[in-house]
Amino acid sequence: MSKLDRAKVLREYIFEEPDNPFNYYALALEIKDLDPNEASKLFDFLLLQHADYLPVYFPAANFFFELDQISKAKDVFEKGIALANSLKETKTLLELKNSYQNFLFENDLEE
C-alpha cells in the first residue's frame, strides 16, 4: 500500500472516529514528507485539542525542528516533558529529555 493509499484510509478513519487522536497522529506521520503544511496543521490540532495525547510530542517537536521552527519545537519539547512527568511516564520522559538536550545543544540554546 502506498503512502497516498494509507493517507486515504487514515482520512476515512478520522471521518469515522473524529475524537480519536491516534488517527490524526498517524496521518500526520504518514504525510509529513509529502505535505508538510497539512502535517503541521494536524500536529497543531493534536497539541491544542488533544494536549494530553503524549505520543504526539516527540515526533511533533522533531517535525517543527526539521522545518526550522526552533521556538515552536522547544515549546513542544517542554510541554511534552511536563506532560510525561505529570503522567509518570518514565521511559517517555527520559526519551523526551534526551532528545530535548540534543536539540538544545544542536541549536546552541539554553533551557
Residues in the chain, total:
111
pLDDT 10s digits, 28-46: 999 999 999 999 999 999 9
pLDDT in the model for residue 1: 66
> Is 31 strand, coil or helix?
helix
Distances (CA, A) of 12 to 5, 6, 7, 87: 11, 10, 9, 31
Q: What are phi and psi of 33, to 5 degrees?
A: -90, -30
pLDDT in the model for residue 111: 73
pLDDT 10s digits, 48-104: 999 999 999 999 999 999 999 999 999 999 999 999 999 999 999 999 999 999 999
Look at residues 24, 59, 53, 57 and name the one whose alpha carbon lies nearest to residue 41. Answer: 24
Q: How far apart are CA 9 and CA 13, in angstroms?
A: 6
Q: Quote the pTM value.
A: 0.92
Contacts of 1 (CB under 8 A, 6+ apart): 9
